Amino acid sequence: MFDNIDYLQLGNEKQIHAFEAISNLGIMQNLSEYKPTLCGTFPLGIDIVGSDLDIIMEVNDFLPYEKMVETLYGDKENFNIKRLVIREVLVVKANFIFGGFEFELFAQPQTIKEQYAYLHMIIENSLLKQIPNMRAEVIKLKIQGIKTEPAFCKVLGLEGDPYESLLNYGRRMRII
């Protein structure tokens, strides 16, 4: 379902606008060699004011990727690109504003379907389908300033690092 963004066209008003912004930017085509995949709150319809469009990619050679991203999007409002180490893995994160949305491009040398953002989205999608009131509870917590994974963990009563706890829960429940 999440392999392309066409499903956004059938979503709510914000999802349709997100589809238009992503399409107008041309990011899925421009960076197709890196398998760009939209993850996070917009695909799940749990975005709130200020939610960004998280696009993850599989990148093994950062230098040409960084040059390409700077060439394509360096002129966008609030453009910023940096290297970080997250969970002992070097990543490149680029942020900018376009079409009324903040974009976050997140690149790491790992396949899309093994990246935390993708796995969390699959787990969260499954939970939203199984537990009727969860969407409203998660959105309420997000409006209060709690990030997505911690919000899901709070609703589920999961303790510890929310990013690891959610993955472990997904494995235990055989969602992933």
- Please check whether residue 152 is in contact with residue 166, taking contact to mean a CB–CB distance below 8 angstroms: yes
How far apart (Å, rounded) are the C-alpha atoms in residues 173 and 156?
13
Ordered by start, the domain boundaries in the chain are: 6-111, 117-172
Confidence check: pLDDT of 1 > 80: no
Contacts of 6 (CB under 8 A, 6+ apart): 19
Q: Give the pLDDT confidence of 39-93 residue by residue, as tens digits.
A: 999 999 999 999 999 999 999 999 999 999 999 999 999 999 999 999 999 999 9
Average pLDDT of the segment spanning 159-166 = 96
One-letter amino acid identity for 26?
G
Q: Give the pLDDT confidence of 84-137 residue by residue, as tens digits.
A: 999 999 999 999 999 999 999 999 999 999 999 999 999 999 999 999 899 999
How far apart (Å, rounded) are the C-alpha atoms in residues 156 and 28?
34
Closest-CA residue to 42 (of 127, 158, 124): 124
Average pLDDT of the segment spanning 157-170 = 96
Strands (E), 20-138: 37-39, 53-58, 77-86, 89-98, 101-108
Percent of the chain scored above 70 by pLDDT? 100
Cα 69 → chain centroid: 18
For 170, half-sphere exposure in the C-beta direction (CA atoms, 13 angstrom radius) is 23
How far apart (Å, rounded) are the C-alpha atoms in residues 148 and 134?
12
Strand order in the sheet with 53-58: 37-39, 53-58, 101-108, 89-98, 77-86
The predicted structure's pLDDT at residue 80:
98
The pTM (predicted TM-score) of the whole model is: 0.95
User: Has domain 6-111 been given CATH number 3.30.460.10?
Assistant: yes
Confidence check: pLDDT of 171 > 80: yes
Class of residue 88 by CB neighbours under 10 A (exposed 0-12, middle 13-18, buried 19+): exposed
